[in-house]
A and B are shown apart, each in its own frame.
Chain A
Amino acid sequence: MKPLTTEEIRAVIARGKLRDTIFKALGVFCLALALVVIVALITDMVMKGSERFTLDFFLNFASRHANKAGILSAWVGSLLVMLVTGLAAVPLGIAAGLYLEEYAKRNWLTEIIEINITNLAAVPSIVYGLLALGIFVYQFGFGQSILSAGLTLALLILPIIIVSTREAIRAIPAMIREGSMAVGATRWQTCRYHIIPYAMPGILTGVIIGLARAIGETAPIITIGALTFIAFLPPAPFMGEPAAGLFDWVMAPFTVMPIQIFNWTSRPDPAFEINAAAAGFVLMAMVLSMNGVAIYLRYKLRKNIKW
């Protein structure tokens, strides 16, 4: 092969640099496209929905008249379902993560559980809805209630919480455990007084991300039979005639924010588009602020922890 002259080498280098620059531009373009989609989505919803951002919108029930319809039953429903989801998923997720990191022996049983959790994360959410329809709604007889919905979403986000718990626990150095065990603490005492408190911020990040995912989920809730048109609230404890019990609300029929939006987008009357835009913005604001808190928490943690 003939050696290249200086000009040819310069040309080769220039070509390489040009390709680098072009690719860099392509990368920035793709990232910008992602940003444009977020901005377009939010601007569109704000512009279309702006006229509906009144107090009435939050305090009115769904209605046949687009300009009177509100999201009261939807956001109350979403909050109550999240409450059940959180109460079920958080203790279960932390316990499962703790077991796998601190207790589990390396054997086939542990391996099955671990493979299982990875695979569950890839199961489509609507399949969880079918599971819940078969088991919670009909087998256990919970009906089409807040309880069924909350438990379904809890199962759905359990893998997220377990994985983040495990990661948080794994980041704690072994000397913390050794120190605790050396002064005679049992395994549980070590977990209770050292591991869980130190891992808490990381666990919290996972919990928030999981709940943010759950609040936006629609498919599994539709499958278990959430109603799309509800003009009443679940019974508040000790209110009404006859007085409702403390936990009567968990068995009540319900609707949630995403279903309200789905209902409005699927109506032919374009007047409901405005409502869908406004409700979509409210839902986005809820989800994004939760995600924002989680990102901030993680960012702050990374800076503060020094073992």
Chain B
Amino acid sequence: MSANNASDLPQVSDRLAYNAMRNWKERLIEAVLFGAAAISVLTTLGIVYVLVSESFHFFSNVSIVDFLTDTQWTPLFDDAHFGIMVLVSGTLVSSFVALAVAIPMGTVIAIYLSEFANSKVREVAKPILELLGGIPTIVFGYFALLVVTPLLQMVFPELPGFSLLSAGLVMGIMIVPYIASLSEDAMRAVPMSLREGAYAMGSTRLYTAIHVVVPAALSGLAASYILGISRAVGETMILAVAAGMQPNLTWNPMEPAATITSYIVQVALGDLPHGSIGYQTIFAAGLTLLLITLLFNILGQWLRAKYRENY
């Protein structure tokens, strides 16, 4: 097809044919690439299909009122109760402990890095935080069970070997990098002129950070907190290892309890026959989990839209 001199140039009809083939090939490639992008939509549809269809079987055996109001979760016993509240309480308590650590710590680190630290500190600190975020959660679980729990037991001798407290604390440390780095990005996006205005009025760094930069970056901060909440609610292995896996309706972090995620792990480890009621409970629990995270995501998007400031 290559033409080095005039006599070799393809005829007009040849060139048209070549173009047609070229267009056809381009379309094919575009279709293939589109297919790859569409996989993400298929994944979502798959998740919804699997969770809803299996939960549908579950809810044809168990009434939805029992599911939401029963105070016992004993799906594998003869006297079966299906009160999701039990698992939700464990999930909420552990998430609360984690966020009580992660939100203040993450925010302080973010303010420090964006407003106080010089660029050298930042260059070192950010990769360290990233490393912390990259540690596998099973290793954090090991750490919570075999290092943090014994340490806490020195302070609180009555703390049991498995507790929501130690799992929650370690989970908080795990979430710090996500909150710190997203919040820092949000605060760095605040234009310099706002800070300069505040400094010109005689504000200190801290005053500027708290009264000017943080309010201006509020939508970004809210988004990072919401991400932290989603992580905490969906975290599995730390809880499965360090919080025990006994269903327990409690609001006390000093007790062991199962969460939605650790219950799913517990059932998956046994071998329940495909299609049994016990097998379907993990899909109902998974659906509950997905709805909770979805709720927080919607809340996050709403917050972001509400507090977005444009400069």
Contacts and interface: CB of A to CB of B under 8 A. Distances in A.
Given A27-B117, A40-B147, A95-B33, A216 B241 contact: no
Given A27-B116, A28-B112, A17 B237 contact: no
A219 B25 contact: no
Contact of B143 (A30, A41, A125, A158): A41
A16 B109 contact: no
A33 interface: yes
A31 B124 CA distance: 11
Contacts of A37: 132, 143, 173
B80 interface: no
A66 B293 CA distance: 40
Given A26-B108, A30-B105, A158 B50 contact: no
Task: Among B38, B43, B53, B117, find the residue whose CB has the most chain A CB atoms closer than 10 A.
Answer: B43
Nearest to A291: B134
A27 B107 CA distance: 9
A239 interface: no
A223 B265 contact: yes
B188 to A, nearest CB: 15
B39 A158 contact: yes
A292 to B, nearest CB: 8
Interface string A268-304: 0000010011001001100110011001000000000
A73 interface: no
A188 B108 contact: no
Interface in A16-68: 16-17, 19-20, 23-24, 26-28, 30-31, 33-35, 37-38, 40-41, 44-45
A138 B53 CA distance: 13
Do most interface residues of chain A lie in helix, strand or loop, or is the interface mixed? helix
B293 to A, nearest CB: 6
A277 B33 CA distance: 44
Interface string A122-135: 11111111110111
B207 interface: yes
A267 to B, nearest CB: 12
A133 B44 CA distance: 15
B26 interface: yes
B205 A20 contact: yes
Given A19-B206, A27-B111, A99-B33, A262 B141 contact: yes
A15 B271 CA distance: 65
Nearest to A35: B128
Interface residues of B, number: 84
A117 B26 contact: no
A27 B36 contact: no
A129 B132 contact: no
Contacts of A218: 136-138, 236-237
Interface string B251-272: 0000000000100110011010
A83 interface: no
A119 B295 CA distance: 12
A233 interface: no
Given A116-B44, A122-B297, A38 B142 contact: no
Interface residues of A, number: 86
A34 B36 contact: no
B139 A216 contact: yes
A222 B37 CA distance: 28
Nearest to B227: A122
Interface in B256-290: 261, 264-265, 268-269, 271, 274, 282-283, 286, 289-290
Interface in B12-47: 22, 25-26, 29-30, 32-41, 43-44, 46-47
A258 B116 contact: no
A169 interface: no
B33 A287 contact: no
B240 interface: yes
Contacts of B127: 295
Contact of B26 (A100, A155, A186, A261): A186
A31 B33 CA distance: 43
B54 interface: yes
Given A41-B147, A218-B138, A27 B268 contact: no
Contacts of B227: 122
B220 interface: no
Interface of A: 16-17, 19-20, 23-24, 26-28, 30-31, 33-35, 37-38, 40-41, 44-45, 91-93, 95-96, 98-100, 103-104, 112-113, 116-117, 119-120, 122-131, 133-135, 138, 155, 158-159, 162, 186-188, 209, 212-213, 215-219, 222-225, 228, 258, 261-262, 265-266, 273, 276-277, 280, 283-284, 287-288, 291-292, 295
6 contacts: A20-B204, A27-B108, A38-B135, A124-B233, A134-B49, A134-B53
